């Protein structure tokens, strides 16, 4: 803290000071503008540069500081509605750096992983799919946008979180289209302190040996069966869900009440699948997971 300012206040003052500066500013100029001594300001500049808020350019003996693209002053929780359209706009029309800077800035401004995933990332995934379905983008561009979304989700997973050995979750995608949903969910579980094993797209593993492979995996990641183990399967089809239910249910029954199975996807009313929860909404799965863990304590 400097001159009575909190780190967040320094951050917001830096954004306000540099957002209209095309030519950049020196550390001395910034310290004078903000009212923080030069030595302290120099430390803050290095910290914020490491966070992705700032970039520096050396011209001879002079170091100029610039605001990274996509940096704005947000006030959460009021400003989540601003971030969602910005994220999609940067994703479709801008650059990767703008997308990543926006996510980092949102986190640094007090945005939570849960709400950023549910209110920003998931709507963007749906929008990209709609652009593809409407013929506005092709397969190549769709894959590029999905890759950028995936990379931005990894920013959440890099946050230092102390996981709880009592909270264990395995995420499975029954098809490639569901892989981003499992990645997004993985980030939320991670932020909530779960020990996450995200298996990604397992469509290639749909065969008679999967149940044996999965049983070995469960024995490895849940050796002493501490706390709870929740398995979540994401699928765009009932067939995908049905295969993994048939393979996992016998293992679940052997493991006892501390192993749960949740399904995320569309299921017709005529289809009957044995599971602890079925929902199309990821937020339902996440909330149920936390409630289930709390009830077992």
pLDDT tens across 131-142, in order? 999 999 999 999
Helix (H, G, I), strand (E, B) or coil at 42: helix
142 and 194 in a common domain: no
pLDDT tens across 56-79, in order? 999 988 999 998 776 676 888 999
Q: How many domains does the chain have?
A: 3
Q: Which pLDDT band holds residue 194 (cuts at 50, 70, 90)? A: very high
186 and 272 in a common domain: yes
Alpha helix positions (H), the chain: 7-18, 27-34, 38-51, 80-93, 96-108, 113-116, 122-133, 139-157, 179-191, 210-221, 238-255, 282-296
Domain boundary among 157, 177, 202: 157
pLDDT of residue 1: 44
Q: Cα–Cα distance between 150 and 162 in angstroms, integer?
A: 23
Q: Cα–Cα distance between 7 and 1 in angstroms, integer?
A: 6
Q: Strands 167-173, 228-234: parallel, antiparallel or unpaired by DSSP? A: parallel
Question: Is 1 within a domain?
Answer: no
Question: Is 18 within a domain?
Answer: yes
12-26, 181-195, 238-252: segment of lowest average pLDDT:
12-26
Which domain range does residue 263 map to? 167-296
Tell me the pLDDT of the chain averaged across its residues: 92
54 and 88 in a common domain: no
Question: Is 123 within a domain?
Answer: yes
253 and 225 in a common domain: yes
Domain boundary among 104, 124, 157: 157
Contact 100, 152 (CB under 8 A): yes
95 and 113 in a common domain: yes
pLDDT of residue 122: 98
The CATH number given to whatever domain includes residue 226 is 3.40.50.280
């Amino acid at each position: 803290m400097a001159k009575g300012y909190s780190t967040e206040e320094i951050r917001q003052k830096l954004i306000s000071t540099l957002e209209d500066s095309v030519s950049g500013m020196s550390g001395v100029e910034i310290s004078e503008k903000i009212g923080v001594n030069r030595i302290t300001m120099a430390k803050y500049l290095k910290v914020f540069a490491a966070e992705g808020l700032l970039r520096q350019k050396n011209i001879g003996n002079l170091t100029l500081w610039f605001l990274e693209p996509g940096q704005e002053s947000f006030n959460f929780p009021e400003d989540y509605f601003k971030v969602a359209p910005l994220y999609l706009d940067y994703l479709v029309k801008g650059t990767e750096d703008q997308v990543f800077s926006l996510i980092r800035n949102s986190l640094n401004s007090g945005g939570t992983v849960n709400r950023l995933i549910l209110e920003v990332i998931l709507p963007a995934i749906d929008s990209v799919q709609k652009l593809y379905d409407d013929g506005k983008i092709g397969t190549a561009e769709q894959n590029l946008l999905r890759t950028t979304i995936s990379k931005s989700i990894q920013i959440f997973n890099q946050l230092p979180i102390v996981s709880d050995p009592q909270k264990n979750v395995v995420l499975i995608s029954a098809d490639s289209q569901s892989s981003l949903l499992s990645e997004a969910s993985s980030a939320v579980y991670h932020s909530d302190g779960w020990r996450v094993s995200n298996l990604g797209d397992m469509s290639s593993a749909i065969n008679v040996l999967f149940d044996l492979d999965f049983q070995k995996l469960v024995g490895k990641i849940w050796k002493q069966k501490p706390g709870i183990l929740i398995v979540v399967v994401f699928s765009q089809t009932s067939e995908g869900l049905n295969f993994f239910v048939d393979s996992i249910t016998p293992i679940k029954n052997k493991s006892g009440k501390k192993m749960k199975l949740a399904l995320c996807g569309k299921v017709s009313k005529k289809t009957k699948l044995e599971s602890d929860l079925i929902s199309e909404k990821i937020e339902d799965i996440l909330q149920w997971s936390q409630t289930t863990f709390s009830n077992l304590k």
